[in-house]
Amino acid sequence: MKPISKDEDRLWEEHLYREEPDSDFTLKLMQKLDSVSMESGEDGSPFVKKSIKAHWKRRTGIAAAAVVILAGGAWFAFDRTAEPAQPAVNAVDRLPLPNIPVPEALKYSYFADDYKRLKPLGLVVNPDIHINDQGYTLKIEDVLVDRSHMVMTMQQTTPDGLGLSRSLYAMGRIHVTDEEGRQVATLARDARTKGPLTERLLFQFYDEIPDKVVVRGELRNLNVGRYYDYEKKSYKDRDVKVDWSFQFNIDMTKAKTLAVENSMDNTYTTPEGLKLDMTQLVRTPNGTRLDLNVKLEDKLRGKVDENWASYMSIIYHLEIPETNEYRIFNGIRPDARQAKFQLQDLSDLRNGGPLKLSETWDPAFVTVDAKNIRFVLDGYTLPVKEEKSVEVDLEKRRKDTNFYTFAQFEQLGDKILFYDFEYEPLMESYDPPKIDVKEGYSLVLKGSGTFRNAFMGDRWVAVDSDGKEYPVEVNGYPDQPNNNSEYVEDDLQLKIRGFNEEKGTKFTLKRTVVNREYRDVNWEVDLPSYDSLPWLK
């Protein structure tokens, strides 16, 4: 067993502040896609209705870039000899879920289906935690547990009955350990819901799990929101000291018996020098989890950014020959989805170990009783140090036409055209009320872009004539990928924070790190199958 890591603070910060899609928006989007006819249209798209734009927000410079792509997916019939441009479409035969009541805290979330899968098997634990301190209450009633993960829902309310959803950072820690206090699980993330909302925490268990797991909370510093200080003309956090300490035990014996684990030893090294090791496949009633280790050879390690492991991702698809179907995961390809649960464990990197990746597939998309699943690697992304710059002269913009390119940026297949600009007030990161509190101005470059590389992890900077650097924030709402797997954005904005009219009209715009997508790969693995699934007996 591992002791509690010194990197725990970093893991919590990465988990709580990773930008994710809004859960309500995602749920409504998926519901809308469920109603879309799955017949090929005249334009070759499998959707008859026009697809909804996926929300994209990319930040670079002072903040790490973070984007999640929401794309409606479909199960496509797989035929190696068929023309891939217009594949036929098959619907998924979802196994019926038990018609049982779902707790109010889970009813309107993606976890409602998870609850229905686990509750009849005795894999929902109610620790009956109810703490009231100064009117601030914490309730923990339904904990979802299987061999692979634990999901804990924490209902947090203020004295006036309002809910809290962003209160865990800096308020304390929650530990999942054995009886001797050694850590047995680490924070993972649910790709379906908004990351910073911390009323639900997801933990992934290590390979070895004791029969009894101890969950201990040390929560004392409660942040209840921000307010505007009119005297100091700035925003401040409102903190309250509470004692929300708790502890409860979970009997893991049943969860361990209701799972199928298969060790794996499949290794592949890409032409660029990225090594992938498949280590394990875990099937539970609530999803199938694939574990991989990732290492970089020295040549590739010298090319990547120091934070490569936080942004690295694999792009792949699954083929199921028995049902003649496949499912695309990650990347910007049409109809790609995210895994249900994801983990990027960086804890061994400092000691020369690998990055540990885990992807857990939702039973609604990859049924847990599917046999003979073939994993096919399609590519991967890495933040690579690839500096490219362009000289921008704002005076070259023409005012007699709305669209005239006065600057153009191209790099590694990505192309951006700038045709307009404006200045806007520079405000704090949090959305303020309608108050004129200016900290300066930002230059906003407007244009369009076509991107072949991944969005998350890019870094930009602007340099004025005196050599001063300004961070850059990139915003846009790209459409579905085109036939070349490129995202096209016709309303792209690059905000150069703090660059105002007094700084001049000429500067250098640089992209210093590109989250590059590599597609030169060739690796297929037949994943372990099974003889029987214990929860179906």
List, for residues 184-212, the tens digit of each pLDDT value.
999 998 988 765 456 788 999 999 999 99
Contact 273, 299 (CB under 8 A): yes
Apex CA 272: angle with CA 269 and CA 274, to 5°? 40
Apex CA 506: angle with CA 503 and CA 509, to 5°? 100
The Cβ of residue 267 has, within 10 Å, a number of other Cβ atoms equal to 13
Among the listed residues 80, 134, 144, the one whose alpha carbon sits nearest the alpha carbon of residue 243: 134
What type of residue is 313? S
Residues 448, 476: Cα–Cα separation, whole Å = 9
Q: Could you read off the pLDDT of 44-56 as tens digits, one per residue?
A: 322 222 333 333 4
Among the listed residues 192, 189, 165, 190, the one whose alpha carbon sits nearest the alpha carbon of residue 29: 192
Among the listed residues 12, 23, 197, 216, the one whose alpha carbon sits nearest the alpha carbon of residue 112: 23
The Cβ of residue 23 has, within 10 Å, a number of other Cβ atoms equal to 18
Instruction: Assign 252 to helix, strand or coil.
Output: coil
Residues 436, 416: Cα–Cα separation, whole Å = 33
Beta strand pairing call for 506-518 and 374-393 = antiparallel
Residues 213, 251: Cα–Cα separation, whole Å = 7
- Give me the pLDDT at residue 117, please: 95
Beta strand pairing call for 212-219 and 374-393 = unpaired
Contact 288, 375 (CB under 8 A): no
Which H or E run includes 26? helix 23-34
Among the listed residues 531, 516, 2, the one whose alpha carbon sits nearest the alpha carbon of residue 274: 516
Among the listed residues 152, 271, 315, the one whose alpha carbon sits nearest the alpha carbon of residue 219: 152
Residues 170, 236: Cα–Cα separation, whole Å = 15
- Give me the pLDDT at residue 168, please: 58
- Give me 110's structure tokens: 């993606």
- Residues 6 or more apart in contact with residue 350 via CB below 8 angstroms: 7
- Residues 6 or more apart in contact with residue 414 via CB below 8 angstroms: 449, 450, 451, 452, 453, 514
pLDDT along the chain (537 residues), means of 10: 49 46 38 35 30 36 33 35 38 72 91 95 96 93 97 89 64 86 93 68 94 94 72 75 94 97 97 97 97 96 90 93 85 80 92 94 90 95 93 88 86 92 72 44 91 80 93 78 78 90 92 91 96 91
- Give me the pLDDT at residue 470, please: 94
Residues 59, 461: Cα–Cα separation, whole Å = 11
DSSP 92-158: --PPPPP-----HHHHTSTHHHHHHHHGGGT-EE---EEEEETTEEEEE--EEE-SSEEEEE-EEE-
- Residues 6 or more apart in contact with residue 439 via CB below 8 angstroms: 425, 426, 427, 428
- Give me 232's structure tokens: 């100091």
Contact 416, 449 (CB under 8 A): yes
- Give me the pLDDT at residue 322, please: 83
- Give me 266's structure tokens: 């499949």
- Give me the pLDDT at residue 160, please: 84
Contact 40, 46 (CB under 8 A): yes
Residues 268, 521: Cα–Cα separation, whole Å = 9
CA 111 to chain CA centroid, Å, is 17
Per DSSP, 16 falls in state H
Contact 390, 508 (CB under 8 A): yes
Residues 12, 23: Cα–Cα separation, whole Å = 20
